[in-house]
Structure 1
Amino acid sequence: MLNPNAAGLDLHKEEIWVCPGGFQDNHEPEVKTFGTLTGELRKLVAYLKEKKVTAVAMEATGIYWIPVFEMLKNEGFDTCLVNARNIKGVKGRPKSDYADCVWIS
């Protein structure tokens, strides 16, 4: 694990899948979803702070990442956008929104 205080986000037009890091062996990763409107983004920020997350990596197609990225950056998170092509091309990895945010985290 490179950063136990990192979270992975899989972004869509109306939904954000979030997995805070700090995995433990034999425990299911925690995954939560949020909406994409401003009130939901504020809840996302509060949730990440509650989980002691300091860094966020996110994957999105299109432009859906921009308001999320800006809000997280303005709130002091170390934020980066990852290339969806690099994540989706891994052989043998299951493909779902849940699996994507866990993989990114």
Structure 2
Amino acid sequence: MEAILENCCLDVHRDTVVACLLTGNLEGRPKKEIRTFSTMSKGLHELEAWLQAASCTHVAMESTGVYWKPVYHVLEESCEIRLANAQCIKNVTGRKTDISDAE
């Protein structure tokens, strides 16, 4: 199996997308960078440019509601996207935040 060094998880909402980008090598801990983008076209293209600048080609996000669709359509040409069913993702105990969802 191929190890993917640059990947990103997205927590998509109506107005924002929280992105957690992991980069690094296999010898150490990955570097984590978290950013929030607007779900308007300009914000989604800024997200795409940020991912491309980091050489990130693999993205995962929950397929909740309809909010994921515009994100998917903007990123589908530049990234390999994995949609996760929200019911299959283990709930994290404790306080839930957008950042913890993206991580």
TM-score (norm 1): 0.80
Q: Does 1:70 pair with 2:63? A: no
Q: Paired residues, what number?
A: 98
Identical amino acids, percent of aligned pairs: 32
> CA-atom RMSD, angstroms?
2.2
Aligned pairs for 1:9-88 within 5 A: 9-22=10-23, 25=29, 29-74=32-77, 76-87=78-89
What SS does structure 2 have at the residue aligned with 1:85?
A: helix
* Larger RCO of the pair (alpha carbons < 8 Å, separation 6+): 1
Contact in 1 for aligned 2:7/2:58 (Cα 8 Å): yes
Contact in 2 for aligned 1:9/1:56 (Cα 8 Å): yes
Query: More strand per residue: 1 or 2?
Result: 2
Query: More helix per residue: 1 or 2?
Result: 1
Whole-angstrom distance in 1 between the partners of 2:55 and 2:14: 26
Runs of 4+ displaced beyond 3 Å: 23-27, 90-94
What SS does structure 2 have at the residue aligned with 1:61?
A: coil
